[in-house]
Structure 1
């Protein structure tokens, strides 16, 4: 058969790979809790004027253009974490999901849905008389999912796309010796950082820059998404050339994407825990990590 390579580019983000390097070198100790998410104001993506891809109106569906043509309808009919992979992909590498560890169960809750309706009401081309102002959006403005792992870690996954906010994937990596948070670009390492005080993360991210970025950063200049896409495609090509199992495979794809329907089921059941399928059929206990192990791919 043919391998599936799951193209999740944030796994190759420079700071994410530096933190992975730090995790592997034990700087955070044993990992206890992690957070991530998709936190991105998409209101001007979900609505436009039907002519330009971003903003300019409050149309979607048949009257929308580009992503507004298909993306927004999910916010009308669904209530769950609709886009978990950007955040959960890197987190899965930090704690060896499907390669020595796995997700056991999740529970999700959703806030009320107000952001998209408010956007339509207050947009110059919207207002209370606009037909779209009558739509009741089902997607909660803030969806929060809590995952329990086989080795005892907890993971919180955020979905937040309908409210005004700066972009952030909300990474938090916390262990017995310290933590890193990307939202304030800071970290704390016990015995190294000033007691109970944050330190800027950048000096550490530079010191522990992943060997992949050290070797290939110049070649990645100008590539999509700040260079991440270069490393993603490089890994795809190199694994194909070697006929090697891809570092992001079909089990990862199924596991990460399962968060969406499981979160919908949990929310519909009032936040009740939902068991996670073991797509590896027990092989997670014996599979070894193979993601970004050196400067090759």
Structure 2
């Protein structure tokens, strides 16, 4: 099916309902498909891991430190990673896992043969949707690293499979909302009307990755996408927060976008400087512009500005949220978050520190979440803290209760769909591209994000 055909397709319709526990309200899972297998909190949660590199090893180490979570199976194409994970599992006191190492598609055998509650996918991007679909079609939920899909067809296939099987695929371990210092607290401020009606959010993935892309020990597969694509290739980190603040899929939805990229210079210059002008890296031709800017308009007239830049030298990105009563700014080279609230800030049209507001409106979930320290810092790419991340706590809670994660399948594919749509816009002289409605109209009645 071509991208232009999605609006004409007919899909299953299902009534919306609110989920219990700490979950996304109004996620729309049909009641007769609600899984019951994990209703007993005494039953271990069984997880299989596919891809155990930097992020995969981080997730594995978190899981091994949680009571009642077991890892019976792991899948990895690199032997050194596979056997490191095997050792970690055994050292945690769990039985030796079944190893799946017969090439890049051996995840299918894992999904077919293992009795698991969920599969954790942390592979390179092109395998994300196939792994999620294999899990869902074999009676397992899927939790995926970003992006969850690369094409419009894959997005619709995930939605269809969820609605047919009741098994979800989710970006449930995306950390931007739950693990950032201001994520949940800003949501609390937005929902209490501190900023008035939200009109505009601006953020992006602005992160100098030239070394990472060119280092075989890091993530050289990213470099391949710069050769073949040109758009916003990594929208999910900022969208994880922006979608919640602007009620995307929960009272509003993204209607259309336009995307534009600069010329591509920096990766070539980096290769010449570090490897020489006659090196293989210097001979590569790149499509991806060094700076990409995307504008998204919602049905209700709100605006989103997304920036994507992983090739130029700079500090990390800024995050801004603008409402009818004020504005919040954080990130980049700022020493601390700034805020301006009309009629409330001490000086007209001047920034003040946001610290007192972030303390005043600290989300209750953050106040109440205080897990016991683990014996050692968590290994892998994801931070070196020694406490179980809130994302993992909520994931295991959802699996035990038979509910959906706070970022459900509709939200997950909507977040990642920006990737292929921006590529399409850039390729067509920055023409406007419509954003599919993966909820099929349910966005009008789905309740905003709410943590109980």
TM-score, with structure 2 as normaliser = 0.58
Q: Could you tell me which residue of structure 2 aligns to residue 244 of structure 1?
A: 403
Alpha-carbon distance in structure 2 between the residues aligned to 1:220 and 1:235: 17
**Residues 33 and 155 in structure 1, CA contact (< 8 A), matched pair in contact too:** yes
| Counterpart selection for 1:155 from 299, 304, 311 | 304
Deviation at 1:135, TM superposition (A): 1.5
Q: What 5-or-longer segments of structure 1 have no aligned partner?
A: 49-63
Q: Could you tell me which residue of structure 1 aligns to residue 369 of structure 2?
A: 216
Counterparts of 1:40-59 in structure 2 under 5 Å?
A: 40-48=207-215
For residues 207-249 of structure 1, what are the alpha-carbon distances to aligned partners after superposition, in whole Å with 9 as ceiling and x for unaligned? Answer: 2211111111454786644769711111111122222232101
Q: Could you tell me which residue of structure 1 aligns to residue 224 of structure 2?
A: 73
Q: Could you tell me which residue of structure 2 aligns to residue 28 of structure 1?
A: 195
Alpha-carbon distance in structure 2 between the residues aligned to 1:288 and 1:266: 31
CA 1:4–1:46: 2 relative to 1, 3 Å: same
For residues 259-286 of structure 1, what are the alpha-carbon distances to aligned partners after superposition, in whole Å with 9 as ceiling and x for unaligned? Answer: 0000000000111110000011111111
CA 1:248–1:229: 2 relative to 1, 3 Å: farther
Does 2:288 match 1:139? yes
Does 2:322 match 1:174? yes
Runs of 4+ in 1 over 6 A off after TM superposition: 226-229
Work out which structure has the larger RCO, using CA pairs closer than 8 Å and 6 or more positions apart in sequence: 1
For residues 156-179 of structure 1, what are the alpha-carbon distances to aligned partners after superposition, in whole Å with 9 as ceiling and x for unaligned? Answer: 0110100111122x2111001000
Alpha-carbon distance in structure 1 between the residues aligned to 2:372 and 2:268: 44
Deviation at 1:3, TM superposition (A): 2.5
Does 2:162 match 1:9? no
Alpha-carbon distance in structure 1 between the residues aligned to 2:383 and 2:435: 31
Alpha-carbon distance in structure 2 between the residues aligned to 1:145 and 1:220: 41
Determine which structure has more spread, i.e. the larger CA radius of gyration.
2
Counterparts of 1:187-202 in structure 2 under 5 Å?
A: 187-193=339-345, 194-202=347-355
Deviation at 1:116, TM superposition (A): 0.8
Q: Could you tell me which residue of structure 2 aligns to residue 37 of structure 1?
A: 204
Secondary structure of the structure 1 residue equivalent to 2:322:
strand
**Residues 14 and 209 in structure 1, CA contact (< 8 A), matched pair in contact too:** no
Range that drifts further, 2-11 or 230-239: 2-11
Q: Could you tell me which residue of structure 2 aligns to residue 56 of structure 1?
A: none
TM-score, with structure 1 as normaliser = 0.87
**Residues 249 and 446 in structure 2, CA contact (< 8 A), matched pair in contact too:** yes
For residues 175-214 of structure 1, what are the alpha-carbon distances to aligned partners after superposition, in whole Å with 9 as ceiling and x for unaligned? Answer: 0100001133211111111111101122221222111111
**Count of aligned residue pairs for this structure pair:** 274
For residues 6-60 of structure 1, what are the alpha-carbon distances to aligned partners after superposition, in whole Å with 9 as ceiling and x for unaligned? Answer: 2311111231111111111111001111111101000110012xxxxxxxxxxxx
**Residues 106 and 275 in structure 1, CA contact (< 8 A), matched pair in contact too:** yes
Secondary structure of the structure 1 residue equivalent to 2:203:
strand
Alpha-carbon distance in structure 2 between the residues aligned to 1:190 and 1:130: 56
CA 1:31–1:220: 2 relative to 1, 3 Å: farther
Secondary structure of the structure 2 residue equivalent to 1:256:
helix
**Residues 105 and 274 in structure 1, CA contact (< 8 A), matched pair in contact too:** yes
Q: Could you tell me which residue of structure 2 aligns to residue 127 of structure 1?
A: 276
Alpha-carbon distance in structure 1 between the residues aligned to 2:428 and 2:372: 49
For residues 95-124 of structure 1, what are the alpha-carbon distances to aligned partners after superposition, in whole Å with 9 as ceiling and x for unaligned? Answer: 11111110000000001111111111222x
Q: Could you tell me which residue of structure 2 aligns to residue 286 of structure 1?
A: 445
Secondary structure of the structure 1 residue equivalent to 2:278:
coil
Secondary structure of the structure 2 residue equivalent to 1:171:
strand
